Amino acid sequence: MPKGNSNLIEFSNRTVLSCAMSPAPLQLGTLYLVATPIGNLEDITLRAIRTLRECSVIAAEDTRRARLLLKAHNIDRPLLSCHKFSEARRTGQFLDRLENGETLALVSDAGTPVISDPGERIVRAALESGYRVESVPGPCALTAALPASGLPAAEFHFVGFLPHKSGARIRKLEALDAVPGTLCFYESPHRIIKLLNELASIWPESEVVLARELTKKFEEFLRGRPVELLEHYSERKPKGEYVVMVHRPT
Ligand code: SAM
């Protein structure tokens, strides 16, 4: 029986009770953004597993990859593919499903949907059409990397992937010169050397941390000035997935 005479108190009492005793059921007509592991399959929350188990349908960037995750957690729900080339086409279908009262879970290949991954278009369309969008938070390479980097984390700027073409990369990096805080990039192993060379020319005195293969068997953090890291890679080839963080002296 709710106590108190304001709706807010009633609502918060109910929320607290439902969390303590049995989790609230999924809300009909809601889009859930479900974060999934970035390597270690144990890195998934109880709520993410329950959302994936109870939703009407799961929209996945790569259905084959999603199937492995579902199998590991004994989840059996229908899958629809939703990658960067099909997101525009799929958005209307997803809105129809929300309109029919379905609960839709969106997962990317790894980590948090929308963060350098598909989903932004669907989120915007769902919100503009008045549907509820909920985050089911969990792994993200950025938030796994930055706290363990040792670099200042009070203020940071997430860049994501730089453009591929050299001119556009340099222009982007130069524009970032005015941006305060630790800069955080996602980068493919094929372009790590290129990025270190660019950092060596623009911010030679910066402290750089390369967070590689986070949560996986060969996880490592490499720290140094850009030239020191280039030296490290003069004898070996960059391999795996990287988050690159850059602290520039003021
Ligand atoms: N949505 C994901 C997230 O929440 O982090 C990011 C997806 S983005 C397509 C993939 C990039 O994230 C990789 O190229 C790499 O830069 C970074 N990344 C993903 N998993 C990683 C890991 N285990 N270790 C280091 N970086 C990772």
Listing DSSP states for 32-89 in one string gives EEE-B-SS-TT---HHHHHHHHHSSEEEESSHHHHHHHHHHTT----EEE--TTTHHH
Contact 33 CB / ligand 1 (< 6 Å): no
Contact 144 CB / ligand 1 (< 6 Å): no
**173 CA → ligand 1 middle, Å:** 20
Q: Which of 38, 44, 84 to mutate to test the pocket of ligand 1 (most atoms within 8 A of CB)?
A: 38
What pLDDT, in 10s, does the model give residues 112-153? 999 999 999 999 999 999 999 999 999 999 999 999 999 999
Contact 112 CB / ligand 1 (< 6 Å): yes
Q: Domain 141-247 maps to which CATH number in 3.40.50.10490, 3.40.50.300, 3.10.20.30, 3.30.950.10? A: 3.30.950.10
The stretches in the chain having pLDDT less than 50 are: 1-19
What pLDDT is recorded for position 4?
A: 32
What pLDDT is recorded for position 1?
A: 27
Structure tokens at 74: 């004994």
Contact 141 CB / ligand 1 (< 6 Å): yes
Q: Domain locations in the chain?
A: 7-136, 141-247
What pLDDT is recorded for position 250?
A: 82
- Taking the domain 7-136, which CATH number applies? 3.40.1010.10
pTM: 0.90
What pLDDT is recorded for position 88?
A: 85
